[in-house]
């Protein structure tokens, strides 16, 4: 597993946990929201460098996406 993959896995785990806790979701529900977000697509793209940011920072983008109704 590359460093990029490891960092994404850890960040994904943290984002799903935050979503589940903040929005009172099951883990599968939280995963569905995250995986269908533009934020997650950007996280998967090494060119964006988003994977270098903290999960809390990335979560801010995800929350904005949820609140604006921009989920895919």
Residue 72 has pLDDT above 60, yes or no: no
Question: What b/e readout covers 17-29, taking b as 16+ CB neighbours within 10 angstroms?
Answer: ebbbeeeeeeeee
Give the predicted TM-score (pTM) of the model.
0.91
CA atoms within 13 A on the CB side of 53: 17
Tell me what the mean pLDDT of segment 7-23 comes to: 97
pLDDT tens digits, residue range 24-70?
999 999 999 999 999 999 999 999 999 999 999 999 999 999 999 87
Enclosing domain of residue 25:
3-68
- pLDDT bucket at 71, cuts 50 / 70 / 90: low
Number of domains composing the chain: 1
């Amino acid at each position: 597993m590359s460093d990029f993959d490891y960092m994404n896995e850890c960040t994904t785990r943290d984002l799903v946990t935050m979503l589940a806790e903040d929005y009172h979701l099951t883990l599968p529900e939280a995963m569905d929201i995250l995986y269908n977000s533009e934020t997650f697509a950007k996280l998967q793209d090494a060119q964006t460098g988003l994977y270098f940011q903290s999960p809390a920072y990335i979560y801010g983008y995800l929350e904005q996406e949820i609140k604006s109704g921009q989920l895919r």
